[in-house]
Amino acid sequence: MPFRSTLLLCAALLWTTSAMATDQLTIYTHPSFAADWGPGPAIKEAFEEQCDCAVNLIALESGGDILQRLRLEGESSPADIVLGLDTGTMETARQTGLLAAHETALDRLNLPIEWTDPLFVPYDWGYFAFVYNTDQLPEPPTSLEALINAPDDLKIIIQDPRTSTPGLGLLLWMRHVYGDKAPEKWAQLKGKILTTTKSWSDGYFSLFMNGEAPMILSYSTSPAYHMAIDKTEQYQAVRFDEGHYLQVEVAALVASSKNKALGRQFLQFMLTRDFQRHIPLKNVMYPATDIGTELPDVFGKLIQPGKTLYFDPATVADNRRSWLNEWLDAMTR
Amino acid sequence: MVPGSNTPPFTHRGWRIWPGTALSLCLYGLGMGGLGALLWQAPAIDIQSLWSSAYLRGVLRFTLWQAAISVLLSLAIAIPVARALDRHRNFPGRAALLRVMELSLVLPTIVAVSGLVAIYGRQGWVTPFFDWLLPSQGWNLYGLNGVVLAHVFFNAPLASRILLQALENTPDSQRKVASQLGLGSLWLWRTLDWPAIQGILPGLAGLIFTLCFTSFAIVMTLGGGPSATTLEVAIYQALRFEFDFGRAALLALVQLIICSAVWLILVRGKTDSALMPAQAAMNSLPPRPDSRGLYRLMDGILLPVFSAFLLLPLVAIAIRGLPGLSDTLLSGQGLVPATVRSLAIALPAGLLAVLTAMMILMIPTARGLGKLAKLGDMAAHLPLIIPALVLGTGLFLLIRPSLGVSSEGLVLVSLINAIMALPFILHLLRSPLNGLDYASVRLADQLGIRGWYRWRWMHWPRMRKPLALAMAYGTALSLGDFGVIALFGTPAQPTLPVLLYQQLGSYQVSAAAGTGLWLILLLLINFSVFNLIGRSSRSRGLPDA
């Protein structure tokens, strides 16, 4: 009776969410991390083998939503771990006072920058970069300056810094390279921008993969997925001379958690190979530690930025609003 | 107007007034509670910033402007299309066209936008033709063009569908007289068509205005840049990125005030629609006098162009989705469980929405209760006007300790989806429910046919079809929903739209296109099944409406 078993299976799927196991570790994360093919399920399994607990992954829409949910729930949050914040939202998360020290040794980390933060443990990182379609654009501009000065018939797709992480990344990238001149440069870039989408997915799926524009703001690691899984070299990232802006994705322990020891155990586990080996192809980012030969070969073909651009999270938090307003002014004038 | 000419179904006054009123009050409570909670949590509210910010003024101007154009264009297309469909009740493919018209509103935005881009974008199928039409500057989708085009794509078919339902309710006797008199198109418009639709037109315009005013992802993707920003975007920004509850609530309040004002102006003085007597259409009519000659030719152009407008993006979506869909179906990547989960949320939501809408519509409009009925109507529109994000965040603040993220969460999602579908359902059911003719009602009163019997023998034959359509919309709106479920957070097992977004978020472009296509097929099946249910045994085999 295939129909009946399907029904039973589905009923079971709906019910398992409320089933209680021994020790529960509740993790807030984003949908692509928790997806069947994402790193979530494999990591859950690996951790459950060594912790005698049940990992409960809850997917919220984005990093911003994870933070929002945590703020709304405050002390009564059922979450033990938040996983999926990044260097753009870290400082705001810190200021809520709802997070606890990780007490994890960070010496295994392998990031382009030094990391000593007491609250946040990085689990992966990547560079923002423009990805281009080699069929449509054989010779892309090789610097931010060249892109800004390119003729207006070169079209790019970017994301809105008000609603999207890479969008904010580009804002910081421009600011880092041009400082106070950034608004002028934005005004020059404006003619090249086909559109500014709400999220990365909107631009990548509806526009870029539909061939609407040859370049899109994305990550330097995006081609790794296309090369390893789609088996195509058609989509490549372009290396910019000025350097690339860094994004580090982090997790943290929730202060109100009743399972702090278990939570810290998970944060330590996060920096082991059993966790990190799932990052490169399932989250399409660089692992936060050196995983040696387990790093897929395609990662060797990715661009190597000459310079890592990075603002301290506190600087971002202090200036975000005024930089956003500058951007709005430049773009709507 | 004759007092009591629109006596609604359950004839005991109390039964008609109280359930609907109580439900409306609940909705007000919900809306005000959500907004109020935000305002109450906000540290400081800077009303000054509203007037002083050039940015906000620009946002407001653009929001109003694009919404107004979208409404006008949608209706300008919807009315002729509805008349043409009413003129020709038997052409092949009419039923299929109606199903597609029902579909467009409920398409998930990201899928519809990818279809529109494939047709009208820089590499679009019809773009060379548009460039040829506009040789001087060329066609550019990104900007006001694209925003309005997408809004017309979503809303004109809905409007047309609702208008057609009203046109078809014109009594046969009147159609026969008109046919015998050989009235021309203009006269038919003045004597039959306009009276049939004028009652629902303002409400419809209000509905479309609100939908376009609060539009979000479409405006951002197709708007070209931050100069195309709606108030809803500013609210999202305030809530999600700045955690500025005060500003979010304030902006939501502005949105609430503008939308309700527009809505009140539009429906001013009109407490009810469809005042004419009507009977179940038997479809055995002589053809409308204006379905021949020149009009036949014009309709022969209008309907195919309109069909192409609706179908081309769907064809593009299908072509893009087929490879991915066959892969996913073969590998069984969670598509079936996600579908079952989606249906488990959507079917109860549809049913609940229809029941609630019926109760609100039953509030009598005559005898000084017009204001109460209007209040109920207003309440049903609140979920459209108050951004879901504001409502959700506010309610979260109110009930946060008790909210789980498990099965109760899914029940809540179903409930909120039902509320979100309410305004649409209200528009679908209003005119059939209130359109029972005076003579029949009087006769039923004299014969003492009341309560259940009146419902079973007088209303049910007329309501069967609209109810089925309303159920179909209610279910479909919730099937395609991503916003509400994302708000509450999902345990790892996704519904269909969540699965779609998971795939989009992790480069699975082809699988996502497949899931999008699957969702569209499911929506089509949903509309077709409910359409079959709606056809009574008597009218089966007769032309479809």
Average pLDDT of chain A? 90
Q: A190-249: per-residue pLDDT in tens?
A: 999 999 999 899 999 989 998 999 999 999 999 999 999 999 999 999 999 999 999 999
Rounded distance between C-alpha atoms, residue A269 and residue A290, angstroms: 14
Chain B interface mutation, best of A28, A48, A65, A201, highest count of B Cβ atoms under 10 Å: A201
More confident position, B285 or B192: B192
What's B346-382 look like in SS3? HHHHHHHHHHHHHHHHCCCCCCCCHHHHHHHHHHHHH
A194 lies in the same domain as A96: no
3-class DSSP assignment, residue A84: strand
What is the predicted ipTM? 0.86
Instruction: Name the residue with tokens 């992954």.
Output: A57
Give a yes or no: residue A7 inside a domain.
no
Q: Is B277 on the interface with A (CB under 8 A)?
A: no
**Sign (positive or negative) of CA dihedral B194, B199, B201, B204:** negative
Which residues touch B455 (CB under 8 Å, ≥6 apart)? B9, B10
What A134-141 contacts at long range (C-beta under 8 Å, 24+ apart), as own/partner pairs, is: A134/A233, A134/A234, A134/A235, A134/A236, A135/A234, A136/A211, A136/A214, A137/A214, A137/A215, A140/A214, A140/A215, A140/A238, A141/A238
Is A11 within a domain? no
Query: Domain tally for chain B?
Result: 1
DSSP B220-248: HHHH-STTS--HHHHHHIIIIIS--HHHH
A260 and A238 fall within a common domain: no
Length of chain B: 545
Strand runs labelled E in chain A: 24-29, 54-59, 81-86, 99-100, 121-133, 156-159, 193-197, 215-219, 235-238, 244-254, 286-287, 308-309
Give the largest Cα separation in chain B, rounded.
Answer: 71
Which has the closest alpha carbon to B410: B351, B478, B355? B478
Residue type, A302: L
Going by pLDDT thresholds of 50, 70 and 90, the confidence category of residue B347 is very high
Q: CB contact, 8 Å: B402 with chain A?
A: no
Structural domain includes residue A170:
yes
Residue range A33-91, pLDDT digits in tens: 988 888 999 999 999 999 989 999 888 877 788 888 888 888 888 899 999 999 988 99
DSSP state of B458: I
Cβ contact, residue pair B114, A205, below 8 Å: yes
Residue B192 covered by a domain? yes
CB B33 within 8 A of CB B395: yes
Token pair in block for residue B155: 């809303």
Structure tokens that stand for A149 in this block: 């000065």
Looking at the structure, tell me whether residues A218 and A151 fall in a common domain: yes
Average pLDDT over residues A2-27: 55
- What is chain B's mean pLDDT, rounded? 81
In the block, tokens 């409570």 appear at B29
Residues of chain B numbered 144-173 and touching chain A (CB < 8 Å): none
Kindly state whether residue B31 falls inside one of the protein's structural domains.
yes
Distance CA A254, CA A83 (A): 10
The parent domain of residue B414 ranges over 13-44+64-271+283-534
Are A285 and A240 members of one domain?
A: no
* CA–CA distance, B439 with A39 (Å, rounded to integer): 68
Q: What is the pLDDT of residues B163-176, one digit of tens each?
A: 998 888 777 777 77
- Average pLDDT of the segment spanning B388-413: 68
At B463-472, the pLDDT tens digits run: 888 899 999 9
With an 8 Å Cβ cutoff, is A3 touching chain B?
no
Residues A316 and A219 in one domain: yes
pLDDT score of A42: 94
Q: Is there a domain that residue A130 lies in?
A: yes
In a shared domain, residues A295 and A327:
no
Assigned domain for A141 exists = yes
**Helix, coil or strand: residue B403:** coil
Q: Output the pLDDT for position B26.
A: 86
Q: Is A332 on the interface with B (CB under 8 A)?
A: yes
Residue with tokens 């509400």: B484
CATH value at residue A44: 3.40.190.10
Residue B335: pLDDT band by 50, 70, 90 thresholds?
Answer: confident
Q: Residue B416: how many CA atoms within 13 Å on its side-chain side?
A: 26
Comparing CB atoms, the residue among A7, A198, A226 nearest residue B217 is A198
Structural element, H or E, at residue A47: helix A39-51
DSSP per-residue string spanning B513-539? HHHHHHHHHHHHHHHHHHHHHHS-TTT
Highest mean pLDDT among A14-23, B45-54, B234-243, B275-284: B234-243
Is there a single domain that holds both residue A235 and residue A272? no
In a domain, A2, yes or no: no
Q: For residue B100, what are the β-bridge partners? A: none
In a domain, B539, yes or no: no
Q: Which two tokens stand for residue A165?
A: 């992480």
**Which pTM was predicted?**
0.87
Give yes or no: residues A41 and A96 share one domain: yes
Q: Is residue B2 part of a domain?
A: no
Whether residues A31 and B490 touch (CB distance < 8 A) is answered with yes
A14 in a structural domain: no
- CB contacts of B224 in chain A (<8 Å) are 193-196
CB contacts, 8 Å: A155 with chain B: 122
Residue span of the structural domain in which A117 resides: 19-125+248-301
Of the ranges A107-121, B78-92, B354-368, the best mean pLDDT one: A107-121
- With CA atoms as reference, report the closest residue to B187 among A268, B179, B89, B233: B179
Same domain for A50 and A182, yes or no, is: no
Q: B461: which 2 tokens? A: 């034959």
Contacts of A209 in chain B (CB under 8 A): 509
Give B400's contacts in chain A (Cβ within 8 Å).
Answer: 72-74, 76
Let me know whether A167 and A106 are in one domain. Answer: no
Residue A54 and residue A21 in contact, taking contact as beta carbons nearer than 8 Å? yes
- Position B87 scores a pLDDT of 85
Residues of chain B with C-beta less than 8 angstroms from the C-beta of A30? 505
- Of B110, B406, B490, nearest to A205 by CB-CB distance is B110
Q: Distance between CA atoms of B16 and B9, rounded to whole angstroms?
A: 8
- Domain membership of residue B356 (yes or no) is yes
| Residue B268 exposed, middle or buried by CB count within 10 Å (0-12, 13-18, 19+) | exposed
Mutate to test the interface with A, among B113, B137, B237, B241 (most CBs of A within 10 A): B241
Amino acid B395 reads L
What is the band of A301 on the pLDDT scale with cuts at 50, 70, 90?
A: very high
The minimal CB distance from A332 to the residues B58, B122, B337 is found for B58
Q: Is residue A36 part of a domain?
A: yes
Q: Which two tokens stand for residue B268?
A: 């001013």
Q: Write down the pLDDT at residue B208.
A: 93
Residues in chain A with CB shorter than 8 Å from the CB of B121 are 207, 210, 212
Instruction: State the Cα–Cα distance between residues B526 and A100, nearest whole angstrom.
Output: 49
> CA nearest B408 in A: which residue?
A18
pLDDT at B158 over 70: yes
| Residue B541 domain flag | no
**Kindly report the CA angle at B402 between B399 and B408, in degrees rounded to 5?**
105
Asked if residue A196 lies in contact with residue A159, where contact means CB atoms within 8 angstroms, the answer is yes
The CA distance from A298 to A310, in Å, is: 25
The arithmetic mean of pLDDT across residues B376-400, rounded, is 77
Q: Which residues contact A153 (CB under 8 A, 6 or more apart)?
A: none
Question: Which stretches of B438-536 are DSSP H helices?
Answer: 438-447, 451-454, 460-479, 483-488, 496-505, 509-534
Q: Are A206 and A259 in the same domain?
A: no
List, as ranges, residues 221-240 from B with C-beta within 8 Å of A: 221-227, 233, 236-237, 239-240
Residue A64, amino acid: G
CA atoms within 13 A on the CB side of B399: 14
- Name the pLDDT band for B538 (thresholds 50, 70, 90): low
List Cα–Cα distances, A111 to A83, A106, A304, in angstroms. Answer: 18, 11, 13
Indicate the SS3 state at residue A143: coil
The band of B57, judged by pLDDT with boundaries at 50, 70 and 90, is confident
Of the candidates A141, A52, A85, the residue with the CA atom closest to the CA atom of residue A253: A85
Q: Which residues of A fall within a CB distance of 8 Å from B508?
A: 37
* Same domain flag for A47 and A162: no
Domain count, chain A: 2
CATH number for position B79: 1.10.3720.10
Taken as a whole, chain A contains a residue count of: 333
Residue among B223, B267, B232 nearest B251 (CA) = B232
Contact between chains at A202 and B110 (C-beta distance less than 8 A): yes
A220 close to A303: Cβ distance less than 8 angstroms:
yes
CB of B247 less than 8 A from some CB of A: no
Contact present, B42 and B245 (Cβ < 8 Å): yes
Task: Band the pLDDT of B8: cuts 50, 70, 90.
Answer: very low
Position with higher pLDDT, A112 vs B329: A112
Q: How many CB pairs under 8 A join A and B?
A: 203
Across the interface, whether the CB atoms of B341 and A162 are under 8 A apart is answered no
Q: Which of residues 145-174 of A touch B (CB under 8 A)?
A: 155, 160, 162-163
Q: Do A72 and B333 touch (CB under 8 A)?
A: no
